[in-house]
Chains A and B, each alone.
Chain A
Amino acid sequence: MTRLLAAIAFAVIGVVQQPQADSILEARTAEVAAQLRCPVCQGLSIQDSPSELSQQMRAVVKDQLREGKSPDEVKAYFISKYGEWILLEPKAKGFNVLVYALPIVLVLGGLGVIAVAVRKWTRAPDSPA
C-alpha cells in the first residue's frame, strides 16, 4: 500500500514538474534566440522571425540548451558558423566599440553645442562704451 502511494506521489510530482521544466527551457530558448539574428530577414531575431530557417535555428538552440550547453556556448556555436554578424548586438570590442561610443560622443557634443549657444543667447548685451 505504501509503495503504491509512493508510486502515485512520484507520478503526480513528475506530471507537475515536466511542464515546469518545459516552460523554463522555452524561456531560456526565447532569451538566447532573441539575441541571434535571422539570416534571411532584415534586423529581426530568430525569436521574432517566422521564417523557416529561424524556426529551425530556434530548434537547434533548444536542443543544445536541453543537452546542457550554456547560453554562451550556444551563441558561440552560432558565431563559429555565421561569424559575429549573427549577434543582434555586436560585442563591444575593436571596431564595434564605435557602435556604442559614437552615439554617446554625438549626444555629448550636441549638449556642448546647446550649452554654448544658450550661454551666448542669454549673455547680457555689452554696455555701450
Chain B
Amino acid sequence: MNWKRATIAAACVVPLIILFGYGLTRDPKDIPSPLPGHEASPFALAVFAPGQPPLNRAPGDTVRLAELKGQVVVLNFWASWCLSCRDEHQILSETAKTYAGKPVHFVGVLYNDEPANGTQWIEQMGGQSYPSVNDPGARTAINYGLYGVPETYFLDVNGRIAYKATGPVNERLIRHVVDSLMAAGAK
C-alpha cells in the first residue's frame, strides 16, 4: 500500500466529510436571530380585533410599546392564511387569560393579511382573549426581523427582546419564559 498517497487522499477528503457532516447536523431553517438581548423596536399599531374582557382593547385604539414598559410583552405575529397559527391559537388565547391582572401583555400582530380576514379567522377559531393589531406594510415585522409566521417575541419589563420563538408555541414554553421574565422583573 502506498501510505504517502493514502495520507494525501485522507488529508483532502476527511476535512470535506467533516464539513458536510457538520452541515447535516444543522437545521437550515434555524437561523439565529441577533435581536435577543437588544432593545425592542418601538411600534404604534391600531387594534382591529378587540379581544375579550378583561384583556380587550377597543378597535381603533393604538397599542404603543412605549406604554407597555414595566410589563412583560408577548408579541405574536400571525396571519389567517397561516396553517401553523391554528396550532397555537387556542394555547395562546387560553394562556393569556390566566395572566389577566398580572404585569403581562399579550398582543397579536397581523402579518401580510387583511384585518377583515383576521377578524373572520378569529371568529372561526372561537375568539381570542387578547387584542390583535394591524401592521401595514409589515414595517413592524421587518423591524423585528420576521421570517414568517407564526413567530413570537417575549419582551422583558425593560423593553428588551428576551426570547424569540419560531413556529407554533406551546403552553410550557410560554409559561416558562413569561414566569422567568416576571420573576426577573420583580427583583
- Give me the interface of A with B, judged by CB distance under 8 Å: 39-40, 52-53, 56-57, 59-60, 79-83, 85, 109
Given contacts A39-B148, A53-B112, A81 and B143 within 8 Å (CB-CB): yes
Q: 7 interchain pairs (CB within 8 A)?
A: A39-B146, A40-B148, A57-B142, A59-B137, A79-B34, A83-B33, A83-B34
- Partner of A81 from B12, B112, B138, B144 at Cβ < 8 Å: B144
| Bound form: Cα–Cα A53–B142 in Å | 8
| B residues 129-155 in Cβ contact with A at 8 Å | 137-139, 141-148
Given contacts A52-B112, A60-B139, A81 and B147 within 8 Å (CB-CB): no
Given contacts A53-B138, A109-B12, A39 and B34 within 8 Å (CB-CB): no
CB A46 to nearest CB in B, in angstroms, measures 11
Tell me whether A40 and B147 are in contact (CB under 8 A).
yes
Q: Hey, which chain B residues are within 8 Å of A57, CB to CB? A: 142
Tell me whether A80 and B147 are in contact (CB under 8 A).
no
Task: Classify the interface of chain A: helix, strand, loop or mixed.
Answer: helix
Per the CB 8 Å criterion, the residue count for chain B at the interface is 19
> Which of the listed residues A40, A56, A57, A59 has the most CB atoms from chain B within 10 Å of its own CB?
A56
| Chain B, residue nearest A80 (CB) | B34
Tell me whether A81 and B35 are in contact (CB under 8 A).
yes
B183 within 8 A of A: no
Tell me whether B145 and A81 are in contact (CB under 8 A).
yes
| Chain A, residue nearest B28 (CB) | A42
- Partner of A56 from B12, B31, B142, B147 at Cβ < 8 Å: B142
| Chain A, residue nearest B112 (CB) | A52
Tell me whether B139 and A83 are in contact (CB under 8 A).
no
Q: Hey, which chain B residues are within 8 Å of A53, CB to CB? A: 112, 138, 141-142, 146
| Bound form: Cα–Cα A24–B38 in Å | 35
